[in-house]
Amino acid sequence: MNIFVCLKQVPARDSLIRVNTAGDWIDDGDLSFEMNEPDAFALEEGLRLKEKHGGEVVAVTAGPARSASTIREALAKGADRGILIEDDRFAQSDALATAGALAAALSKEKHDLVLTGLQSDDAGFGQVGVILAELLGLPHGTIIMEVVAEGIMEVSAEGSSIRVKRELEAGWFQHVEMPLPALLTIQSGINKVRYATLIGIKKAKSKPLQRYTPQDLGVELASRQSIRRLYAPKSAKQTQFLEGSPKEAAAKLLEKLRFEARVL
Amino acid sequence: MSVLIVTEQRGGQWHKMSWEAVAAGQQIAKLLEIEAFAAVVGSGVESLGGEVAKYKLTEVILCNHELLADYTPDGFSLALRQAIEHLKPEIVIFPHTYQVRDFAPKLAASFGKPFLSDVVGVTREDAALIFVRQLFQGKLNADVSVEGEAPFFVSVQSGAFRGDSAESASAPAAVRGIDVTLEASQIRTRPQKPFRESKGEVDLSSAPIIVSVGRGIKEAENIAMAEELARLLGGEIAASRPICDNGWLPLERQIGSSGQTVSPKLYLALGISGAIQHVVGMKGSRTVVAVNKDESAPIFEIADYGIVGDLFDVVPALVEALKESSGD
């Protein structure tokens, strides 16, 4: 089974994020970046499916040159090869533009299953997977909790199909079947992601990494959503910060909760 | 020129965010001085259309087809595509539900249009609409505009618009079905009957006090400390998603977009950064207390009281103080 996992590199989770002087994007000069956490679960799911059913896992990203390190991390964890579509504008591109570039690269490849994370921790569109399915003409399922492997490679009269468990809202779930090839967006937390081993890191260096530019793929990278202003949200509430030693702050808090908010 | 509001129902049960989308759609229609329409998608939805018609709308459009009885992304996008081609709206508004996340990006992409998801506000600047989106897990807000030709596709975040502020009509709006052409072969996924996994024995929505823990709790063993605080306050323990994913607390104690929505009189957020997915589940709480090491954590934006500090120092101090006062 040929599994493609789409990954995004985003600012590290605990980064202090500052708005640039123009006020329209972040100041990313001294930020450190990491693999988008929801995508790490998609990668893990892809690696597990490959271990069960054979085939290869290809890690794909569309991003600035720095994103190569996220592909290398995926290769170190067990992906067989990588594809990087490189352009600085991907840092701010809308989901349609990003998915368009990914679709152009994936349409050159034979894919049985395409996986993405649920959403990115930076732009948070939560759309690239679903749009990619539309552009590639694939059926899709989102917020997948489980890829039911039984019968996954069984070829019936209509071809092979897959059974997945989707999360609905408010504690409801649903099984859905669909033919392959298909695209799934993976719910975070459904598996325990592995760490790269030293041997894995060593091996990653010799694994192939295909680089494209949007031009190579005949893609015009035009985002139609543009950020006019980026700013710290106005506090919805007037927060009273309680200071002092932990003991003092705790005492002040309890007093406020008893006599000011009157909730204790 | 119009706004088309897409409502959501399953088996005749309304998703209450439908009314938040109606409120948002009416507000946008007013800003642009254009008409507002609503769409109901499903099978046998005539009477449901009547319930939507009580809102101030030009017309309620029914996308009725037996192949729409169960939700599928193929069926719903094909049906709504026909409604949009028929009505030619300027803007299509959705509630940002799990179902909308599953098909709206596909629908918008089929028109070659971007989809502005999870919007929390809207204003008008000259001729253009400016939408507010949260970025970087709620750390920053962005004013976003969309370029190109209509239609524009927008979904609104849970709680960003008030459902009870949707304007009622003096006389019910007209309800009209449109012809939906669908073939079974166009629907590629086969959904099975939805089921519930946990028995849902814990109903956090009725708890007056909730002590909630996030990633800052670091280890499973540390949850006991928060549980003791909850017990002393007479409250329930809850958590953000990553804690439940790790199995440190059962899923039914998860607060947020994929868990429970609560509005207790007191909500204590311990080591919770305040990512959007969590905040939508608790922002209706009367009094919010946040304890976090990071003073720029978004949770402080919605907190009434904040302590910037290590929860491993603050929580024991709170436990100690509560024990002392109960000993009086």
Distances in whole angstroms, Cα of residue A32 to Cα of each of A9, A29, A90 = 10, 9, 17
pLDDT of residue B257: 83
What does the mean pLDDT of chain A come to? Answer: 92
Taking only the tens place, the pLDDT of each residue in B220-231 is 999 999 999 999
Model pLDDT, residue A97 = 94
Q: Is B263 on the interface with A (CB under 8 A)?
A: no
Predicted local distance difference test score (pLDDT) of residue A33: 96
Q: A interface mutation test: which of B16, B113, B139 has the most A CBs within 10 A? A: B139
B233–A264: do the CB atoms touch at under 8 Å?
yes
* DSSP symbol at A233: P
B309 interfaces chain A, CB cutoff of 8 Å = yes
pTM recorded for the entire structure = 0.88
pLDDT in tens, B272-307: 999 988 998 998 899 999 999 999 899 999 999 999
Mean pLDDT of B6-19: 94
Chain A residues lying within 8 Å of B196, measured CB to CB: 171-173
DSSP E strands, chain B: 2-6, 9-10, 13-14, 35-42, 59-64, 91-95, 115-125, 128-135, 140-146, 152-156, 174-178, 190-191, 195-196, 209-213, 236-239, 266-270, 287-292, 305-308
- Mean per-residue pLDDT of chain B: 93
* Closest residue to A224, CB basis, from B102, B147, B193: B147
Reported confidence tier of residue B99, pLDDT bands at 50, 70, 90: very high
What ipTM goes with this model? 0.90
**Contact residues, chain A, for B285 at CB < 8 Å:** none
pLDDT at A16: 87
Q: How far is B10 from chain A (nearest CA, A)?
A: 12
CB pairs under 8 A between A and B: 249
Matching residue, tokens 């123009």: A22
The ranges of chain A with pLDDT < 50 are: 153-157
- Straight-line distance from the first to the last Cα atom of chain B, in angstroms, rounded to the nearest whole number: 69
Q: Does A223 touch chain B (CB under 8 A)?
A: yes
Nearest CA-CA distance, residue A207 and chain B, Å: 32
In angstroms, rounded to a whole number, what is the distance separating the alpha carbons of residues B241 and A118? 14
- Cβ proximity of B273 and B256 under 8 Å: no
DSSP state letters, B104-157 = HHHHHHHTT--EEEEEEEEEEETTEEEEEEEEGGGTEEEEEEE-SSSPEEEEE-
Q: Given this model, what pLDDT does residue B203 score? A: 79
Give the residue-averaged pLDDT of B59-85. Answer: 97
Q: C-alpha distances in angstroms, A6 versus A120, A167, A199, B256? A: 11, 21, 24, 26
Residue B135 contacts A, CB cutoff 8 Å: yes
By percentage, how much of chain B surpasses pLDDT 70? 98
Residue A244 sits at φ, ψ, to 5 deg, of 105, -170
A25, β-bridge pairs: none
User: What is the pLDDT, as a whole number, of residue B38?
Assistant: 97
Alpha helices (H) along chain A: 37-53, 68-77, 95-106, 128-136, 198-204, 246-255
In whole angstroms, what is the distance from residue B136 CA to residue B256 CA?
17
Distance CA B127, CA B161 (A): 22
Q: Is B287 on the interface with A (CB under 8 A)?
A: yes
Q: For residue A141, give both structure tokens.
A: 């399922």
* pLDDT at res. B325: 83
Name the phi and psi angles at B153, rounded to 5: -115, 130
Q: How many whole angstroms separate alpha carbon A33 and alpha carbon B8?
A: 38
pLDDT exceeding 90 applies to what percent of chain B? 83
Least confident among A212-226, B26-40, B104-118:
A212-226
Rg (CA), chain B: 22
pLDDT at position A15: 85
pLDDT at B199: 60
Amino acid at B161: F
